[in-house]
Amino acid sequence: MRTLTQTVLRPLVAVGGEQAVLAVAGCIISNACFVAAAGTLYALGQYTLRNERLAYIASLLFVFAPSNMFMSAVYTESLFAWLVFSAMLCIARRQHVVASLLLCASSLCRSNGVMYAGYLVWDVVVRREAWIGKRWTQMVVRAVAAAGLVAVSVLGFVGFQIYGYRTHCLQPLYPNNPLRAYCDGLPATVYGFVQAEYWDVGFLRYYTWSQIPNFLLAAPMIVLSIAGIYTYAAHDPVRLATLGWKRRPSLQTAFLDTAFLGNGLLPHIYLWVLLLAVATTTMHVQVITRMFSAVPAVFWFAAHLASKDRFTQCIVTGYFVGYGLVGVVLFSNFFPPA
């Protein structure tokens, strides 16, 4: 933001002041990343779904996502979505080193970026196709390579924690003040401490009567997620339970490899399950739409529903557009889902 303000937008500083131009720069960056993320999701959908129409519908729904007020504001959601979608696309193309670098940037951008490193492990050593024609010594080498790729992926997150510890504990800004309890904890994570200390984030801490309105705000996304996971799991529970190594004999392979029920969605479904569990048990549940803005399976399932019939299409698009519009009003007045 500051670089853009001091270069391309510098002439505007004399007119509106540096703070206003910084805000403009932030909006430009967020919206540029939003557009890039939509295009990358479309490309990723073509690789994963092998269905151009479904990939196109999903990218359109992403543009009208329930979290779109955050995607256009000066937030990190758009940048994060673009980085993780790009990393997934590189993994689909077997460009693992580039993907690890993108995931490194994503984990620096947002802490939940570390969860996406699992895609590298899946693609290099877990999926069934990675083992075909390989000796065990080759798989050991691939496992070591996967560990290295994951290490690179989480460097952004680790680097930020080191920076925070150094700033607040080793070289505190206010040396005369006592050190916070955060400095005594190992591993010391800035974000984890702030969430627990000031936001009261923790396992089942949000399950109070006063938070019922926030659970109602999150309910549509929770229901959509449960329905999507169930739809995929019910189609072939054997495949889901065996990490894709086995399939129900009655299913045709050709059908399994395309659209929302395809084999390529397996790692995306596992991530969806993990994030849904975290969102509903540990974090402030009303921000689930923001968290899921970087989960491709959400938009692929929504596109799967929207392509069925007119009634279902109206419900899905109504929720996406309606929640997004209401969210703009609520967010601008400092109400949830902020």
pLDDT tens column, 184-212: 767 777 887 888 878 888 888 889 998 99
- How far apart (Å, rounded) are the C-alpha atoms in residues 153 and 158? 10
Sign of the CA dihedral 187, 188, 194, 196? positive
- Yes or no: say if 78 and 33 are a contact pair by the CB < 8 Å rule: yes
- How far apart (Å, rounded) are the C-alpha atoms in residues 224 and 247? 25
| Per-residue DSSP letter, 175 | T
Give the pLDDT confidence score for residue 254 in this predicted structure: 46
pLDDT of 99 strictly over 80: yes
pLDDT tens column, 234-261: 988 999 999 888 887 766 554 455 689 8
More confident residue, 100 or 175: 100
Give the pLDDT confidence score for residue 180 in this predicted structure: 72
Band (pLDDT 50/70/90 cuts) for residue 118 is very high
Of the chain, the percentage scoring pLDDT greater than 70 comes to 93
Give exposure, 193-213, as e/b (b: 16+ Cβ within 10 Å): bebeeeeebeeeebeeeebee
End-to-end CA distance of the chain: 22
More confident residue, 258 or 332: 332
Q: Of 92, 110, 94, which Cα lies nearest the Cα of 33?
A: 110
Give the pLDDT confidence score for residue 257 in this predicted structure: 54
pLDDT tens column, 56-76: 999 999 999 888 888 888 889
Band (pLDDT 50/70/90 cuts) for residue 1 is confident
Band (pLDDT 50/70/90 cuts) for residue 275 is very high
- How far apart (Å, rounded) are the C-alpha atoms in residues 128 and 122? 9
CB-hemisphere CA count at 13 Å for 103? 29
Give the pLDDT confidence score for residue 24 in this predicted structure: 82
| DSSP-based three-state secondary structure for 173 | coil
- Yes or no: say if 189 and 161 are a contact pair by the CB < 8 Å rule: yes
pLDDT tens column, 40-53: 999 999 999 999 99
CA angle 109, 116, 289 (to 5 degrees): 70
Mean pLDDT of the chain: 87
- Yes or no: say if 73 and 24 are a contact pair by the CB < 8 Å rule: no
- How far apart (Å, rounded) are the C-alpha atoms in residues 43 and 45? 5
